[in-house]
Amino acid sequence: MPTTRRPGGHDLIAVGASVRAFTCSAARAGWTVHAADLFGDADLRGVAATTVAAGTCGGLRYPQSLVAAVTGLPAAPWCYTGGLENHPDVISAIAAERPLLGTSAAAARAVRDHAWLADVLRTAGIGFPATFTTPAAVPRDGTFLVKPRASAGGRGIAAWDRLTDDRDPETHVWQRWVMGESWAAAFVIPRVGSGRLWAVSRQLVGLDWCHARPFAYCGSLDLPLPRVPPHIRTSLDRLGHALAAACAPLGLAGLIGADVVIDASGGVHLIEVNPRPTASMELVERSTGESLAAVHVAACHGEAAALPTLCATDTFWGKAVLFTTDDTVIDAARHASLLRACQPLTADEAAWPMLADIPCVGTAIPAAAPLLTVFAAAEGHAPVLDRLRRRAAAIDAVLSAGEPPRH
């Protein structure tokens, strides 16, 4: 059932698997946000005017349930977040009823078409790993990955080797494994004009202390643009221009993300395009105060965005997504302990919540599912990672014993 709080300002609808980050950004920027996602977490309910946990709605299951969920929300423009690019039919259905501020279904299909994307990148001189739609000619020596066509957050990816079960070519692709550092690039693409690199972050993938499965996205470390090596930034700029030139005429617009791998020589290889605001972008907002929702909506209206303003300090922000190890129920005692588990340690941290995506009391979470998100800020990536690990340990202590250790 939806939950409602006192509205104010212009209405905006946020739709996706998880819309907490975008909704909080839009609410801070003055919108009255109506949210529909899978979780309906406590902190989302605290900022959204209306919250619909749309795992099922109108007799439908996710993602089609989102179409039914939106019909009960006010008539307003809408934006989408993670996972919905894999369901262009859902995008089309909602866009037929309400103005879409974001990438069209046609553009979402294009950037998720590996063959089409490879041609675009080849022309621009950007690396793209060999990708096959059948395993017939793919060696089972671990040099390739098998991944769902409807990929999101690294779920379902595995090394393609002699131990891998067969996968259905209708629902999977086979992609060469590029060794290197996983980064995320954020581009702002107005309806007209060229794409612009807006932010960069390093991705946390498959970390044990997050209880994440191999290849699963489990967090980000913000990397201010001036700290990006010039040759990498040049390649990322070229990538943004290529995507805008090829895809903006199809309806690619707003803030979009690109998962890339930086190899040992500094070469940039595009792995995937996420044609909507992504999980890492909220770190830019914490670092600069610039609303990711405001930038996204402005770009969808055709306005070019300025680069985020750097903080005066050398503070870096990071986030870690924690997963459950067992089936877990968040009772009232656990919920209260979670809220006490991670207290801010600096003035930078004190300005923002250290926990997000907080489950409501009574939520049952299956094993290996996302539990919540922790944040940290410090002067350098190593201290940020250390602080994130300590906060993850505090959350583990709550789940195992009921109270967190001090750190």
Averaged pLDDT for residues 74-94: 95
Would you say residue 152 lies in a domain? yes
- For 5-9, 34-38, 355-359, which range has the lowest pLDDT when averaged over its residues? 5-9
pLDDT: which is higher, 319 or 310: 319
Q: Is residue 286 part of a domain?
A: no
Q: Is residue 18 part of a domain?
A: yes
- CA–CA gap between residue 76 and residue 88 (Å, rounded): 20
pTM above 0.85, yes or no: yes
Q: What is the CATH number of the domain that holds 89?
A: 3.40.50.20
- 142 and 93 part of one domain: no
User: Do 61 and 136 fall within a single domain?
Assistant: no
Residues 75 and 144 in one domain: no
CATH number of residue 355's parent domain? 3.90.1170
Residues 92 and 140 in one domain: no
- 80 with 142, same domain: the answer is no
Residues 74 and 143 in one domain: no
Cα(359)–Cα(335) distance, integer angstroms:
8
Span 251-295, pLDDT tens digits: 999 999 999 999 999 999 999 999 999 999 999 999 999 999 999
Domain ends where: 154, 177, 200?
A: 177
Mean pLDDT over all residues of the chain? Answer: 91
Residue 307 pLDDT: 60
Give the model's confidence band at 55: pLDDT under 50 very low, under 70 low, under 90 confident, else very high.
confident
Are 12 and 66 in the same domain?
A: yes
Cα torsion angle, 147, 148, 150, 151, sign? negative
Domain count, the chain: 3
- pLDDT tens per residue, range 145-200: 999 988 778 888 999 998 888 898 888 999 999 999 999 999 999 876 678 999 99
Alpha helical stretches, state H, 16-141:
20-28, 42-47, 64-71, 88-95, 105-111, 114-124
CA dihedral of residues 37, 38, 42, 47 (deg, nearest 10): 0
The answer to whether residue 358 is domain-embedded is yes
Residue 371 domain-assigned (yes or no):
yes
At how many degrees (to 10) do helices 381-401 and 332-341 cross? 160
- What order do you get walking across the sheet with 131-132 strand by strand? 131-132, 172-176, 141-148, 158-161
- Domain residue limits at 92: 3-100
Residue 330: both structure tokens together: 């968040």
pLDDT at 404: 46
Position 306 pLDDT exceeds 70: no
* pLDDT of amino acid 407: 42
Asked whether residue 262 is domain-assigned, the answer is no
Which of the listed residues 82, 100, 118 is the one where a domain comes to its end?
100
> What per-residue confidence (pLDDT) applies to 149?
87
Least confident of 56-60, 218-222, 376-380: 56-60
Q: What is the pLDDT of residue 50?
A: 96
CA distance 191 to 5: 34
What single letter denotes the amino acid at residue 147? Answer: K
Residues 12 and 77 reside in one and the same domain: yes
Is it the case that residue 374 has pLDDT exceeding 90? Answer: yes
Looking at the fold, whether 92 and 146 belong to one and the same domain comes out as no
Kindly state whether residues 162 and 75 are assigned to the same domain: no
156 and 79 in a common domain? no
- What is the rounded end-to-end Cα distance, in angstroms, of the chain? 38
- Band of pLDDT at residue 4, cut at 50, 70 and 90: very low
Residue with tokens 């989302």: 44
Task: Report yes or no: 31 and 10 within 8 Å, Cβ to Cβ.
Answer: yes
> b/e string for 354-374 if b means 16 or more Cβ within 10 A?
bbbbbbbeebebeeeebbbbb
What is the enclosing helix (H) or strand (E) of 370? strand 370-378
Domain endpoint, select from 142, 177, 212: 177
Residue 145 lies in a domain: yes
Asked if residue 250 belongs to a domain, the reply is no
**Preceding amide of 249 cis, omega within 30:** no
- Distance between CA atoms of 195 and 282, rounded to whole angstroms? 20
